[in-house]
Amino acid sequence: MNKLTKNQLIERASNKLEAKIFFQTKEVQKIKLMQDGVIDYGLPQETICNMLDSAEKELQVLHYINHRLKFDE
């Protein structure tokens, strides 16, 4: 197995992270629709608020990792 160069690793990591950010953003949007009552999963509002808080924190972490990755380039 050939090892990837540093630039190849950075590019692949960046692509993977962008995909994760995209899908996490969609997850936050979906939970906001749940919170607004557009999507009904039959969950208590408190649970939806907790889910939204968790999803937004995860998105913050992904953005931070992305920033650090670009900072290290």
Q: Please write the tens of the pLDDT for every residue from 9-64.
A: 889 999 999 999 999 999 999 999 999 999 998 999 999 999 999 999 999 999 99
The number of folded domains in the chain is 1
In a domain, 32, yes or no: yes
**Is 58 within the bounds of a domain?**
yes
- pLDDT of amino acid 73: 59
30 occurs within a structural domain: yes
Is residue 39 in a domain? yes
Assess if residue 5 is contained within a domain. Answer: no
Are 29 and 36 contacting, i.e. CB atoms less than 8 angstroms apart?
Answer: no
Q: What distance in Å separates the CA atoms of residue 60 and residue 33, rounded to the nearest whole number?
A: 19
Alpha-carbon distances of 23 from 4, 13, 29, 40, rounded to whole Å: 26, 16, 10, 20
Residue 49: give the domain boundaries. Answer: 20-72
Assess if residue 27 is contained within a domain: yes
